[in-house]
Amino acid sequence: MDLLRDAEIDPSPLAGKRVAILGYGNQGRAQALNLKDSEIDVVVGLRGGSGSAIEAESAGLQTDLLENAVASADVVMMLAPDEIHAALYREVEPHLHKGAALGFSHGLSVRFGFIQPRPDLDVFMIAPKGPGTALRSLYKQGKGMIAVWAVEQDVTGYAAGIAQAYGRAIGCGRAGLIASTFAEEAEADLFNEQAVVWGGVPELLIAGFDTLVSGGVSPELAYLECVGELKLIAELIEARGIAGMREAISNTAELGALLGGKRIVDEAVRERMAQILAEVRAGQFADELRNEEASGYERLEKAREEARSTLLDQTYRSLKETE
């Protein structure tokens, strides 16, 4: 695998350049602060009246209105939510310097046509593989978070150098930068969100909890069994891989996993996974995301409310209170 680390990355493509971070949310805050601590000239671009201005300024960052930040920058990072990238790009495009570099932390908005970057721009991606809170805390510990890098347009001949130097400056080069493309990263990320870690796994936990409770087990014990042990297995997989995790558990748990796991995740599940991947590639999810934003996030608000009122969530809260 082509994994770049700090020692192989030339920091000079960012030297003397000014970076505008558009958005001060999960990724924007972490990337802006890591850049500042890496002595990069950074400005946070915010919409007029943004409540984030005070927070960013009190963290020692310079802020400006979106158009001014973009006009002053050589590198512009789009770190607002993906579904508003089309509107945000329309707003800032007239202020982008000819030959500037436009950066993303997810391939979605370029892969699925939310944005068609101007042909004179370098277009790159540094996608840290985890939340901004962890990106920032790892950086402060002298560590880093692995990231995927890609170039979609290289007009100046420096796009790859800028992407890698940017990844180094936010601390990701300490863990490693993996080469990819906007399409590969976007499709794999959307697939995982829907079918595996963020979609599949929580639904499996909920179904397991519901099955035990329906079978007469107390909600507290069902929660501890089905949800509480997730962190332990995640840590074991992270430390030892899946084969190593299996060797580290009791023979009872290992045999149970062997006999039960494939009955739950059977051929039909794999077929539905393949279906989800095909739908992602056909742009169906990108359309859903656009519609969700246009509807004022109706479905997401309703789902959040429903999740908070389930027996599983009430059990989580009551167990937390006893800690």
Ligand X SMILES: NC(=O)c1ccc[n+]([C@@H]2O[C@H](COP(=O)([O-])OP(=O)(O)OC[C@H]3O[C@@H](n4cnc5c(N)ncnc54)[C@H](OP(=O)(O)O)[C@@H]3O)[C@@H](O)[C@H]2O)c1
Nearer to ligand X, 29 or 168 (CB): 29
Cα separation, 218 vs 212, whole angstroms: 8
* Contacts of ligand X in 79-118 (CB under 6 A): 79-82, 84, 88, 105-106
Cα separation, 321 vs 323, whole angstroms: 6
Segment near ligand X (CB under 6 A); pick from 17-25, 57-65, 167-175, 224-232: 17-25
Nearer to ligand X, 195 or 226 (CB): 195
Report if residue 27 touches ligand X, rule: CB under 6 A.
yes
Going by C-alpha positions, the residue among 124, 115, 110, 122 that lies closest to residue 155 is: 122
Min dist. Cβ of residue 9 to ligand X (A): 20
CA 119 to chain centre: 27
Cα separation, 73 vs 35, whole angstroms: 14
Q: Which two tokens stand for residue 307?
A: 């999740």
Report if residue 132 touches ligand X, rule: CB under 6 A.
yes
Q: Which helix (H) or strand (E) covers residue 223, if one does?
A: helix 219-223
Min dist. Cβ of residue 30 to ligand X (A): 8
Report if residue 249 touches ligand X, rule: CB under 6 A.
no
Going by C-alpha positions, the residue among 82, 91, 154, 169 that lies closest to residue 124 is: 154
Nearer to ligand X, 47 or 281 (CB): 47
Report if residue 273 touches ligand X, rule: CB under 6 A.
no
Q: Which of 18, 26, 210, 290 binds ligand X (CB under 6 A)?
A: 26
Nearer to ligand X, 223 or 285 (CB): 285
Cα separation, 225 vs 128, whole angstroms: 31
Going by C-alpha positions, the residue among 103, 106, 80, 132 that lies closest to residue 286 is: 106
* Contacts of ligand X in 201-220 (CB under 6 A): none
Segment near ligand X (CB under 6 A); pick from 22-30, 194-202, 274-282, 286-294: 22-30
Report if residue 68 touches ligand X, rule: CB under 6 A.
no
Q: Which of 13, 103, 117, 128 binds ligand X (CB under 6 A)?
A: 128
Phi then psi for 42, rounded to 5 degrees? -130, 140
Among positive and negative, which fits the CA dihedral 288, 290, 291, 295?
Answer: positive
Residues that bind ligand X (CB under 6 A): 23-28, 46-47, 50-52, 79-82, 84, 88, 105-106, 127-128, 131-132
